Each structure stands twice: as C-alpha cells, then as structure tokens.
Amino acid sequence: MGYKQTIHTTLFDLCIITYSFACVSNQNEWSHIGNQKGRSLDDDTLPQMLSKMPKTTEKIELFDMGIKEIPIDVFKGFSKCDTLDLGINKISELKPGAFRGLDKLRSLILWSNQIQILVNNTFFGVNNIQYVSLESNEIHCIQTNAFVGLVKLRSLNLKWNCISFLSQNMLANLPRLHDLCVQQNRLTALHPSIFEFQQSSFQLRVEGNSLNCATLLSLESEGVLSEFQLVRQCKQKSGEHFMTHGPFGQNVFF
C-alpha cells in the first residue's frame, strides 16, 4: 500500500516553532506541523525561514514575522505549495520573479504590508493563482501589465490602499476575474471600458472612493455595478433619497 505525504508547515506570530509528527492512518497521510520557540521577529530572513521547511510544504504561513524583502526565486522548489500567507509584514516591493517556483499556488495573501507599486510582470511565473489579497498596503501605482499571466485569477482585493487611477487595460489579462474590491481608495474616475474583458457575473466593490454619481451611473449601465450599490453610493454623496425598483417592479426609496 502506498503512502501519500501531506506536509503543512506553519510559523506562528513571534516566530514560535515546534516540530511534531502525526500519522493519520485512516487516510494514509503523514502530517508535518512545525514550530520553534524563542526567536525574535527579525532573527531570520525569508530565505532562512524557508530553509527550515520541507520542499513538499503545501501551506506556508509567515504572517507577522518582520519580513522586509522577497528575494527573486526564493520559493524555487516549493512547487506543491498552494497557499502563501505573508500578511502583516514590512514588505515594500514585489519584484518580478519573487514568486517563481510556486507552480501550484492558488492563494496569495499580502495584506497589511508596505507595498507601494505593482510593476509590470509582478506575478511572473505563478499562473495558477485564483485569489490575491493586497488589502491595507500603500499601493498608489499599478502598471498596466502588473497582472499579466494570472489567467485563472478570480478574486482580487485592493481595499484600503492609495489608488487614484486604474489604467484602461489593467484587467485585460484577467479573463476569469469575478470579484474586484477597490473600496477605500482615492479613485475619482473609472471608465466602464476598463471592465469590457470581464465576465457577465463580474462584481465590483467601490465604496469609500470619490466617484461622482455620473461615473457610478455609467458603471451601473454597463452591468459592473449593481443597482443597489449605485443607489447607496449616490445617496451617501448627496444625502438625498433615491428611488429604484424592487424585485416585483415596486418603487423602493433609499
């Protein structure tokens, strides 16, 4: 009888690391959970942290570790990893090739860092990603081809940043994108043509920006903004009551 090996390595807050092994016999799977006590947040660089992990690790959690840099090709060999959590760190730059080697990566979590710019080809070499969270960074510039290669991406979270502009073709390389969250940014305009490559089920969240009602109306007419969101946003801006139609054709006031 063969054995399937599943390895999950976790480095918790304050770099607590212990090693233990357990056999889940009914599933013929081995689990490897790791943690080591007694290190400060800045004792190790990312390469040093990764050197302690088996290359077969499927989930890497390195949140709140004081990480400042992601060297190019640092994840080379971690081809089985499907989730990478680098949230609550001090990362200020994402270099093209930083995630290369993560061939099966599906979820990338980078919330609450200090990232300011997404350059072209930021996610080069990781074509299977379906979810990216960049919430609560300092992003003010996204180059047009920053998301090239993410053909399977379904959800992109850019909430709580400093974004004031989205280029017209920025989403052209994301044919499967279903959810885009850009709440609490500095957007003042969004042309509907930005979203012409998205699916009919595409959902946009724009609350907390400085979009005028004319822009919101154009987004609603193109189907990328729900009527409910339109009404709520315009109401917040003007303080007036707006009327729309309920599910059975009745007038509903907000």
Does the pLDDT at position 227 exceed 70? no
pTM of the model: 0.77
Query: What is residue 2's predicted lDDT score, i.e. its pLDDT?
Result: 41
Query: What is residue 19's predicted lDDT score, i.e. its pLDDT?
Result: 27
The pLDDT mean for the chain works out to: 79
Q: What is the CATH number of the domain that holds 69?
A: 3.80.10.10
Whether residue 202 contacts residue 225, with contact meaning beta carbons closer than 8 Å, is answered with no
**213 inside domain:** no
**183 inside domain:** yes
Across residues 150-168, what is the average pLDDT? 96
Does the pLDDT at position 225 exceed 80? no
**174 inside domain:** yes
**211 inside domain:** no
**201 inside domain:** no
The 10s digit of each residue's pLDDT in 97-143 is 999 999 999 999 999 999 999 999 999 999 999 999 999 999 999 99
Query: What is residue 160's predicted lDDT score, i.e. its pLDDT?
Result: 98
Q: How many domains does the chain have?
A: 1
**207 inside domain:** no
The 10s digit of each residue's pLDDT in 192-221 is 888 888 887 889 999 999 988 888 888 888
Does the pLDDT at position 33 exceed 90? no
Query: What is residue 214's predicted lDDT score, i.e. its pLDDT?
Result: 83
User: What contacts 233, CB < 8 A, 6 or more positions away?
Assistant: 206, 207, 211, 213, 216
The answer to which of 166-175, 200-209, 227-236 has the lowest mean pLDDT is 227-236
- The residue range of the domain holding 117 is 4-187
**162 inside domain:** yes
**217 inside domain:** no
